[in-house]
């Protein structure tokens, strides 16, 4: 068997990301970019699903949208950080909201902030992947070779 994503072979150094995004288009495009870059990706489309998957999958990093159905992003963040089983998971806010909430979100436990508008996702995924790679490196997690900017082989 051994098709994509069936979990039969697991690379322990692969950085696992839980992407939480309610926009189906943005979720699929971002998931595809992350997977192509070499990350292991799981997705959730609402806050409750995010909490459930975080506990089951124990990702290295969660990319968390703030405006979610069923439970808001800030509530998901606070719940993750209060739960002993998920408190150590790095949470990066992935939002269309401006940075004005960044300091409050950092107090609540967010370790990074990616603003969708600044990343130019409509023009491709390179800006997003390099911004994410910088955060992943800062967290001492594995940055897959495909996540590095094209042309920077070495």
Query: pLDDT digit string (tens) for 12-49?
Result: 568 999 999 999 999 999 999 999 999 999 999 999 99
Cβ(92)–Cβ(108) below 8 Å: no
What pLDDT does 123 receive?
A: 76
Q: Calculate what percentage of the chain has a pLDDT beyond 70.
A: 84
Give the residue carrying structure tokens 């509530």.
Answer: 75
- For residue 18, the surrounding DSSP H or E stretch is strand 16-20
Contact 53, 83 (CB under 8 A): no
Q: Name the 3-class secondary structure at 41.
A: strand
Question: What are the domain boundaries of the chain?
Answer: 16-131
3, pLDDT greater than 50: no
Would you state the pLDDT for residue 75?
A: 96
For residue 64, what pLDDT is reported? Answer: 96
Q: Can you tell me the mean pLDDT for 89-106?
A: 83
Computed over every residue of the chain, the mean pLDDT equals 85
pTM, entire model = 0.85
* pLDDT digit string, tens, across residues 136-147: 999 999 998 877
Question: What per-residue string of b and e applies to 78-102 under the rule 16 or more CB within 10 Å gives b?
Answer: ebbeeeeebeebbbbbbbebeeebb
| CATH code, 16-131 | 3.40.50.2300
């Amino acid at each position: 068997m051994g098709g994509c994503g069936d979990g039969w072979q697991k690379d322990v150094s692969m950085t696992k990301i839980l992407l939480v995004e309610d926009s189906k288009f943005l979720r699929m495009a971002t998931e595809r970019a992350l997977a192509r870059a070499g990350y292991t990706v799981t997705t959730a489309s609402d806050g409750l699903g995010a909490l459930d998957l975080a506990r089951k999958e124990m990702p290295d990093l969660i990319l968390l949208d703030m405006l979610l159905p069923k439970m808001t992003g800030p509530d998901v963040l606070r719940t993750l950080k209060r739960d002993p089983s998920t408190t150590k998971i790095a949470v990066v806010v992935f939002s269309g909201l401006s940075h004005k909430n960044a300091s409050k979100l950092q107090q609540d436990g967010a370790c990074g902030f990616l603003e969708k508008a600044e990343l130019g996702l409509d023009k491709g995924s390179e800006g997003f992947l390099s911004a994410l790679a910088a955060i992943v490196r800062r967290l001492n997690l594995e940055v897959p070779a495909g996540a590095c900017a094209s042309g920077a082989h070495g």
